Structure 1
Amino acid sequence: MPTLSTVLLFVAATMALLIVPGPAVVYIVTRTVAQGRAAGLLSVLGVHVGSIVYVLLTSLGMSALLLASPTVFQIVKWLGVAYLVWLGIQKLRARRADDGTVAEPPPMSNARIFAQGVLVNVLNPKTLVFFVAFLPQFVDPARGPAVWQLLFFGIGFIVLGILSDGSYAMLASVLSGRLRSTAKARRRLDLSSGAIYIILGAIAAAVSQA
């Protein structure tokens, strides 16, 4: 098992990374505002099921192989970029009602909310780079098999991620009434979240393997 000082350092470093909004946080906040707290928390669950995929891949050493393959990395990277841009365009194209106001979009099913949360995280190339480059830094060969340490830190990341992203969902649920109170506010939310998705897609496009 890692030492207490290593665990504390990992928690501090991980929380510093998690509190910076990325595609997952944008998705969670917009879904919470659109459909309420339950939808937001379900998106958090979907996002971190996506994290489980990377935890398992990292622990088994497969993610390092994926990162070492330029072709596979590029496929994951551009699928993620395309998905983020698509989400952004969907927000920017929010339908208007006949009177010129913004029409309320039909609610997503729980299955779709969950699935989109998984995809947002799995198709984020920065997540792959994070798990390959970040987690191994805390592994100490003298403390036991690397696979168990990677699983330990991976599970720790998911727990911290649920706490951090869950806090965003709870805060968004508190503010959602104000954000949804007028058509103008809803339209501004759609435009801003759409723009953020596209910007994040552009940032993801710049991510390299190095």
Structure 2
Amino acid sequence: MLVTLALWFSLLTATVIISLTPGAGAINTMSNSLTVGWRRSFWGVVGQQIALLLHILIVAAGVGVLVANSPVLFNAIRWLGAAYLVYLGVRLIVSRPEPEAAMADTSGTSAWELLRRGFWVNLLNPKAVVFFLAFLPQFIRPDQPLWPQYLVLTATVVGIDMVVMWGFFASAAKPFQRFAGTVRGQRTLNTVFGVLFIVVAGVLLLVH
């Protein structure tokens, strides 16, 4: 058996805990759920999972070692990621609220835009590569074929993260949708989530 039940259960437990830890992905998911609705926020979650797949592929291919051991490359990606989060935050803060129950009209943001934004939010995080570089090998058995094990790990990590993002964080924002339907509510929530994006950007830069 490539991955034992005990090893897989350990991976499952660790993944649930990690996914439930608030970060840029969770903030992006909740913000999308409030602005375009719970159902359409799914596309942002899909974008985040595509980036997650790339992170795992980077680690599996050994490129993650290069990123982790190259301060210039690591810092370049780190600054790009922080800059993108600041951009999202500022855009939210200065955005003009729509009049009266804007949540009823969710056509303003396309599924492609949601997917693309979710993708970049997760991809431009070099710490994710370093994290997976330290995390995934704990659940790999070197004496067994590697790629089948990575497939099991990928399916587990991506599946759990998608359920947590859409099933928990996007759902957690649903009670505030009526509040988001007013001009005042939109302005307040946009400011809150905008500040959160900027705070996460600061953490990305300051925490080494």
TM-score between the two structures when normalised by the length of structure 1: 0.88
Q: Find the counterpart in structure 1 of residue 162 from structure 2.
A: 162
Q: CA deviation at 1:193?
A: 0.3
Aligned equivalents of 2:128 and 2:176: distance in 1?
28
Q: For 1:113-132, what aligned pairs fall within 5 Å after superposition?
A: 113-132=114-133
Q: Find the counterpart in structure 1 of residue 51 from structure 2.
A: 50
Aligned equivalents of 2:73 and 2:87: distance in 1?
21
Q: For 1:69-84, what aligned pairs fall within 5 Å after superposition?
A: 69-84=70-85
Structure 2 runs not aligned, ≥5 long: none
Aligned partners of 2:91 and 2:194 also within 8 Å: yes
Aligned equivalents of 2:160 and 2:107: distance in 1?
32
Q: CA deviation at 1:102?
A: 9.2
Aligned equivalents of 2:142 and 2:65: distance in 1?
18
Report SS of the residue matched to 2:21. Answer: coil
Aligned partners of 2:24 and 2:200 also within 8 Å: yes
Q: Which stretch of the first structure deviates more once superposed, 151-160 or 78-87?
A: 151-160
Determine whether 1:27 maps to 2:28.
yes
Q: Find the counterpart in structure 2 of residue 112 from structure 1.
A: 113
Q: CA deviation at 1:3?
A: 1.3
Aligned equivalents of 1:154 and 1:58: distance in 2?
11
Q: Find the counterpart in structure 1 of residue 177 from structure 2.
A: 177
Determine whether 1:194 maps to 2:194.
yes
Q: What one-letter code is carried by the residue in structure 1 that aligns with 2:51?
A: G
Q: What one-letter code is carried by the residue in structure 2 that aligns with 1:86?
A: Y
Aligned equivalents of 1:71 and 1:177: distance in 2?
42
Q: Deviations over 1:47-66 (max 9, x none)?
A: 10111111211111111222
Q: What one-letter code is carried by the residue in structure 1 that aligns with 2:206?
A: A
Aligned equivalents of 1:56 and 1:156: distance in 2?
14
Report SS of the residue matched to 1:64. Answer: helix
Aligned equivalents of 1:149 and 1:106: distance in 2?
41
Q: Deviations over 1:115-143 (max 9, x none)?
A: 1110000002232222111111222223x
Aligned equivalents of 2:118 and 2:146: distance in 1?
29
Determine whether 1:133 maps to 2:134.
yes
Shift of the 116–159 alpha-carbon distance from structure 1 to 2, 3 Å rule, reads same
Q: CA deviation at 1:96?
A: 5.5
Q: Which stretch of the first structure deviates more once superposed, 114-123 or 153-162?
A: 153-162
Where in structure 1 do 4 or more consecutive aligned residues deviate above 4 Å? 101-106
Q: Find the counterpart in structure 2 of residue 7 from structure 1.
A: 8
Aligned equivalents of 1:207 and 1:68: distance in 2?
17
Aligned partners of 1:81 and 1:201 also within 8 Å: yes
